[in-house]
A and B are shown apart, each in its own frame.
Chain A
Amino acid sequence: MDERTKYWRPAEPKPSYEVVIVGGGGHGLSTAYYLAKNHGITDVCVVEKGWLAGGNMARNTTIIRSNYLWDESAAIYEHSLKLWEGLEEELGADLQFSQRGVMNLAHDLGDVRSSVRRVEANRLNGVDAEWLTPEDVQAFCPIVNVSPDVRYPVLGATLQRRGGVARHDKVAWGYATAASNLGVDIVEHSEVTGFVRGTGGRVEGVETTRGTIRANRTALVAAGHTSVLAAMVGLRLPLQSHPLQALVSALYEPILDCVVMSNAVHVYVSQADKGELVMGAGIDAYNGYAQRGSFHVIEHQMAAALELFPIFEYASLLRTWAGIVDVCPDASPIVGPTPIDGLFLNCGWGTGGFKATPGSGWAFAELIATGASELARPYGLERFMTGALIDEHGAAAVAH
């Protein structure tokens, strides 16, 4: 038996559904699950061009936190974190969800000021947040170098104790299995090649490499490839797709029991249960769909990591990879309807989508099912016309 068929039911696409979701990654699968679970819409098909959760869901650094500055962000990311806290029980799956704490380091006065501001903003929004002095930082994570004579001295840090990590593929399998059990069809290796257009240009489903699938509502949840799909219906979006690189070291004894992020020096680190150090970088500057980046980005990231963690000096690099992240000008996602009837959009999660997997699916399902979602409302495309941007560049505790 295929190892994965223990989880979800392999499906052949039917000719039509109530909802077709384009993209079988974390957000697409959670959208399908909450459509079925929260709204009783089970006539749903998830089409995925590759294998399930083989895109950014397999390529991220699994960090979960909700310590965003702005109210709109705090609302959706904190809702997501609350869902994470009950998710293993809800899905009946071990997700290796570990609230080991996420620490965001501050290296200069500007960092300190914006970090303290963010701690206060988080608290006002009911998000747990603490400010740590360099001594507190060392107590919380003894291997961080807090000596003052380094290029980027640690002047303090914010700490979200409820933040942490989860096992990315188990999250996807958990949602896929639960959605499948509720009647959702998951169709892998089915690439969307076009859209079915009806009266007045209404989108009424998708053309795929496995045939036409008609649907009353079509939902794009395709991350880095969203612009490519949107171009098929003449929709131009405020998105640019970039490679985002990450890497793992060889396996080591447990040495790091929290998540450490640094905005200024562009590195974020945790240690997987197996023992690899998992590290992420900033995006490569250029647009790219090739799922690889330039090595100087890795070198820059390693220089930062070694200054912060001198103990990593002899660690060896095991492998590097890249995902394709779709970035909005304000570093916030787009979750909303489109100017085209029948077509909904969930994209632009950029460098931080994994943590939002439950909340994104929850809000998007609500929007598709009922036509409105309070969590998603600020994230519509119209914010680029009204100017009501949600500027999380630099404010979101990490560089984008």
Chain B
Amino acid sequence: MLLVRCPWCGPRDEIEFRYGGQAGLTYPADPEALSDEEWADYLFMRDNPKGPFRERWFHAAGCRRWFNAVRDTGTHRFVATYRLDEEPPV
């Protein structure tokens, strides 16, 4: 069971949250210009590191706000959580 630190509500049990996958993916600025390969990259290709991973979480049973986290996927340990308008910690 993970203890997730919501940037607004503080540390809460994992069951209050929904997972949102990789953070920092942005919708293409000019989608019509994309090749099939570029669309595939945007839609399907994802980082999947064993180690620090920038990801999104949603506090579904709390403040119902999205936020970002850096979590080590090798240990499941959270390095940091931060608001969407904050830069990821180094």
State whether B50 touches A286 (Cβ < 8 A).
Answer: no
A236 CA to B38 CA, complexed, in Å: 12
A221 CA to B50 CA, complexed, in Å: 17
A: number of interface residues (CB 8 Å): 25
Chain B: which residue is nearest A295 at the CB level? B1
A289 CA to B14 CA, complexed, in Å: 18
State whether A290 touches B46 (Cβ < 8 A).
Answer: no
One digit per residue, 1 when the CB lies within 8 angstroms of any chain B CB and 0 when it does not, for chain A 237-268 equals: 11111000000000000000000000000000
State whether A228 touches B46 (Cβ < 8 A).
Answer: no
Binds A, one of B15-23, B25-33, B79-87: B15-23
Checking B1, B19, B43, B74 against A285 with a beta-carbon cut-off of 8 angstroms, the contacting residue is B19
Given contacts A236-B41, A385-B36, A385-B37, contact A286 B71 (CB under 8 A): yes
A362 CA to B49 CA, complexed, in Å: 30
One digit per residue, 1 when the CB lies within 8 angstroms of any chain B CB and 0 when it does not, for chain A 289-333 equals: 110101110000000000000000000000000000010010000
State whether B50 touches A296 (Cβ < 8 A).
Answer: no
A289 CA to B51 CA, complexed, in Å: 9
A237 CA to B39 CA, complexed, in Å: 14
State whether A287 touches B74 (Cβ < 8 A).
Answer: no
Checking B15, B44, B49, B71 against A329 with a beta-carbon cut-off of 8 angstroms, the contacting residue is B44
One digit per residue, 1 when the CB lies within 8 angstroms of any chain A CB and 0 when it does not, for chain B 44-76 equals: 111111100101000000000000000101111
B: number of interface residues (CB 8 Å): 27
A295 CA to B37 CA, complexed, in Å: 39
Given contacts A289-B74, A385-B40, contact A228 B49 (CB under 8 A): yes
A384 at interface by CB-CB < 8 Å: yes
One digit per residue, 1 when the CB lies within 8 angstroms of any chain B CB and 0 when it does not, for chain A 261-290 equals: 000000000000000000000000111111
A325 CA to B55 CA, complexed, in Å: 18
- CB neighbours (8 Å) of B2 from chain A are 286, 294
A227 at interface by CB-CB < 8 Å: yes
State whether A228 touches B50 (Cβ < 8 A).
Answer: yes
A377 at interface by CB-CB < 8 Å: no
Given contacts A228-B50, A296-B1, contact A288 B76 (CB under 8 A): yes
- Minimum Cβ distance to chain B for residue A390 (Å): 13
State whether B36 touches A287 (Cβ < 8 A).
Answer: no
- CB neighbours (8 Å) of B73 from chain A are 241, 286-290
A292 CA to B75 CA, complexed, in Å: 9
A199 at interface by CB-CB < 8 Å: no
A370 at interface by CB-CB < 8 Å: no
State whether A294 touches B1 (Cβ < 8 A).
Answer: yes
Checking B36, B45, B50, B55 against A386 with a beta-carbon cut-off of 8 angstroms, the contacting residue is B36
Given contacts A241-B73, A385-B36, contact A286 B19 (CB under 8 A): yes
State whether A290 touches B75 (Cβ < 8 A).
Answer: yes
- Minimum Cβ distance to chain A for residue B79 (Å): 14
A210 at interface by CB-CB < 8 Å: no
State whether A287 touches B15 (Cβ < 8 A).
Answer: no
Given contacts A236-B45, A296-B14, A296-B15, contact A289 B50 (CB under 8 A): yes
- CB neighbours (8 Å) of A286 from chain B are 2, 19, 55, 71, 73, 76
- CB neighbours (8 Å) of A386 from chain B are 36
A124 at interface by CB-CB < 8 Å: no
State whether A240 touches B19 (Cβ < 8 A).
Answer: no
Chain A: which residue is nearest B37 at the CB level? A385
- CB neighbours (8 Å) of B74 from chain A are 289-290
State whether B53 touches A294 (Cβ < 8 A).
Answer: no
A227 CA to B48 CA, complexed, in Å: 6
- Minimum Cβ distance to chain A for residue B37 (Å): 6
- Minimum Cβ distance to chain B for residue A150 (Å): 23
Chain A: which residue is nearest B18 at the CB level? A285
A231 at interface by CB-CB < 8 Å: yes
State whether B14 touches A227 (Cβ < 8 A).
Answer: no
A292 CA to B1 CA, complexed, in Å: 10
State whether A287 touches B48 (Cβ < 8 A).
Answer: yes
- CB neighbours (8 Å) of B50 from chain A are 225, 227-228, 241, 289
- CB neighbours (8 Å) of A236 from chain B are 41, 45-47
- Minimum Cβ distance to chain A for residue B45 (Å): 5
- CB neighbours (8 Å) of A240 from chain B are 21, 46, 48
State whether B76 touches A290 (Cβ < 8 A).
Answer: yes
Between-chain CB contacts (< 8 Å), 11 pairs: A227-B50, A228-B49, A231-B49, A237-B45, A238-B45, A286-B71, A287-B21, A290-B74, A329-B43, A384-B40, A385-B40
Shortest 3 CB-CB distances between A and B: which pairs?
A: A227-B48, A238-B44, A285-B19
List 17 extra interface pairs beyond A384-B45, A386-B36, CB under 8 A: A225-B50, A227-B49, A228-B48, A236-B47, A238-B46, A239-B46, A240-B21, A240-B46, A241-B48, A241-B50, A241-B73, A285-B18, A286-B73, A288-B73, A296-B15, A326-B48, A384-B44
